Amino acid sequence: MNRRKLGRTEIEVSEISFGGVEIGRPYGIGIESEADMVHEDEAVNLLQRALDKDINFFDTAHAYGTSEVIMGRAFAGHRDKVVICTKCQSLLDKNMQMLSPNEIVRAIAVSYKQSCRDLRTDYLDVYMVHSADLAILENKQVAELFTQYKENGQVRSIGVSVYTVEEAIKAIECGIWDVIQLPIHLMDQRTSAAFALAHEHGVAIVARSVLFKGILTNRGKDLHPALSTVNKHLDKYNQIMKETGWTLPDLAVKFALSFVEISSVLVGIDRMDYLKKAVEVADGNYLNDSQMAKLKELQYPEPEFLNLNEWRIKGWLKGH
């Protein structure tokens, strides 16, 4: 598998990054409880097979249940072969307000210590703020604390996980974050507006949600009648799929990999066939300029509607 530079850092990462949330806690369409999840021993085997297949970039977080522990087991004795990205615990309280200055120091320190313990390592390759909103990005204390971890050699690079283009641009303009993880997929491409600025500043982009949490796979078929416009929109990709011979998830991953500004694409992997497919798709054969232009035209016209949390609350994802 090809590797790409992680922005201005000296780190090189595989084009596919192993998304670790699914192996640590129930997550995604159709996964309702631990009974639906892969067994821990199987997860360890998956991680090790991923490394065998040249995936060297592994993403996890303090909030991903047992994910860090499982990765620690899988990579014991192989630490020098993997690039691990993890994220600290939330810096917001239950009312979604910023923690106090003392609480922020403690939250970051406790998270770092616990992550290193669970991952069986004495340093992190990428240490991120999880769900960094504008208030967090404007907080100088947070930036200074993460910078200190980097200067002390406790982490090789620092970054933020964001949701919106406004947050991504703010993070780039801060000038200290090396890596930004953000969502982008065929139907909602709004965050791509920050890519040129990131590239100009040497900030790495790691793409997540490229399969729209399963909507852009077989799990997205036969959606609730309230989502009929989404169903119809998915049919618009059939022509390019026919031209290329790719499936919809193939097209979704290759679309993200066709952006030169993206260092790696996060793919949730909790089955061996998902791993095999992810490796096969990252073959260096991506979209040409004409195809990319066409896909940019085929964004969903109302991306604000593409809110899985609201769909779940309204009962539109039952059975998926």
Domain 3-216+256-286 has CATH 3.30.530.20: no
Q: What is the pLDDT of residues 29-44, one digit of tens each?
A: 666 666 666 889 999 9
> Positive or negative CA dihedral for 197, 200, 203, 209?
positive
* Predicted pLDDT at 55: 98
C-alpha closest to that of 178 among 207, 164, 198:
198
| Among the ranges given (73-77, 164-168, 217-221), the one the predictor scored with the smallest mean pLDDT | 217-221
Q: What is the pLDDT of residues 232-249, one digit of tens each?
A: 999 999 999 999 999 999
In 20-74, which residue ranges form alpha helices assigned H by DSSP?
Answer: 40-52, 67-74
pTM of the model: 0.94
Pairwise CA distance, residues 192 & 188, whole Å? 9
Give the domain ranges of the chain. 3-216+256-286
* Predicted pLDDT at 30: 63
